[in-house]
Structure 1
Amino acid sequence: MSNVLYLFCLARTGLVDHIEGTGITGTEDLILKNFSGVTAVTCEVPEDDFSGESAEIKLQDLAWVGPRAVRHDRIIEEIMQYSPVFPAPFGSLFSSEKRLGTLIESNIDAIREFLDHTADKQEWSVKGLVCKSKAVDEIFTGKLKILSETLSSSPAGMRYFKERQMRSEAEKELSGKVKAACTVVGEKLLACSNNFRQRKNISFGKAEGDKQLVVNWAFLVDHSRISYFLDQVEHANSNYQAGGLAFECSGPWPPYSFCPSLHMEPTR
């Protein structure tokens, strides 16, 4: 089986003229290919590693995919130290240098514009997680405080019935309160970033134990505002975490969430 080009990312020619290191498995040499002021960071791989029947089995094996996916991102992150990057998805293959050049040349304006736009910026991920039992308890406790005097003088049976009713109301109100809080936090984070993507709509459909993912955001943040951005995430947690809603921030990441679509798909 012949070798093909594996693409990690595109960068600005002149900022990445030479790179030492190895490719997707840690054994291949990294190869730089220059096209109209854009440098493609590549390596050569056997085509059947990512294409064909044998590849289908490998790509279902986390033990095979995991280390390569991690290395893919690490190489891009290394390039990010020197240049803005247009990251390629994991497993982007090209049958020849000519094929890669055709993709780049046919999208050169969009690629250059993206590299200009993301210069001195980083992608940061913010996930909102709600602990449902804790959040419901917080709403219920608030209701209980309002009616504490009335309930204290009520018969035990009536008090029990009323508390059950209030807890049921708290469960019904949870979704609306979480969405409102996420809207407030999202607007504050957007105000100190350059761009935003919502990667997952608010949903209580998937849970990790009692924690449920309610928002999954990506923000493009200028280097000069990263400290302020992270402070805003911390401030959001100080406001909402005690009530069961927490925001987890991670980054910086290659700006995958903001890449425009290119007109020609890689040849596999």
Structure 2
Amino acid sequence: MGSSEEKITSSFKLLKDNEEWNLKIYCDDNKLKQQVSQNNAAIDAKRKEIKELPTGRQFFEKKKIDNLIESELENEKNRVSDQVHEKLKEYSIHADVKKNWTKDVTGLKENMTWNSVYLLPQAKVGSFLEEVKSQETELGDSGLRIEASGPWPAYHFSNFS
């Protein structure tokens, strides 16, 4: 059996009885930013520090808070996305993180924060989707929204080249 034939056979064995599912996380940055701004120890500490400064210095330091809030917003999006991904990987044979799409591609007002694919045994798809719902419930009204879709043709996990 030639090398190409072995790769094809191996790919078919991997894909048999498995499904590809996609997960995207979107973020309403303004909504999440408001929560991060109100519930973040680093930002609270900076605000307290600024109150002690002379009025003229407060103006410039408040600009630094805006930058800190943006940084903490990105940290929160990454933290939540990583946490969701790690939990969902438990159901998969293989998982991969893909490039985020822009608003021009998605047509949505929210930013895509996460884009991943999972190769799931068919027997675990139901549990995977239940975990997605559980994660959505946990996120509540944070400004982050999860969207799972599938099954898709397993082109992310097949290699016939």
Q: Would the TM-score normalized by the shorter structure come out above 0.5?
A: yes
Aligned to 1:114: 11
Picking from 205, 227, 231, the partner of 2:126 is: 227
- Report which of the two has the higher share of strand: 1
Give the root-mean-square deviation of aligned CA atoms. Answer: 3.1
Q: Are the counterparts in 2 of residues 140 and 167 from structure 1 also a CA contact under 8 Å?
A: no
Aligned to 1:246: 145
Higher relative contact order (CA 8 A, sep 6+): 2
Cα displacement (A) at 1:209: 5.4
Residue identity in the other structure for 1:213: M
Identity %: 22
Cα displacement (A) at 1:177: 1.3
Mapped to 1, the partners of 2:30 and 2:109 lie a distance apart of 7
Aligned to 1:134: 31
- Shift >4 Å, 4+ stretches: 160-168
The answer for unaligned runs of 5 or more in structure 1 is 1-35, 37-104, 151-156, 263-268
Aligned to 1:206: 102
- Count of residue correspondences: 147
**Secondary structure of 2:39's aligned partner:** helix
- Report which of the two has the higher share of helix: 2
Q: How does 1:32-181 map to 2 (within 5 A)?
A: 107-143=4-40, 166=65, 168-181=67-80
TM-score scaled by structure 2? 0.76
Q: Are the counterparts in 1 of residues 4 and 160 from structure 2 also a CA contact under 8 Å?
A: no
The answer for unaligned runs of 5 or more in structure 2 is 49-54
**Higher Cα radius of gyration:** 1
Q: Are the counterparts in 2 of residues 197 and 217 from structure 1 also a CA contact under 8 Å?
A: yes
Mapped to 2, the partners of 1:221 and 1:112 lie a distance apart of 19
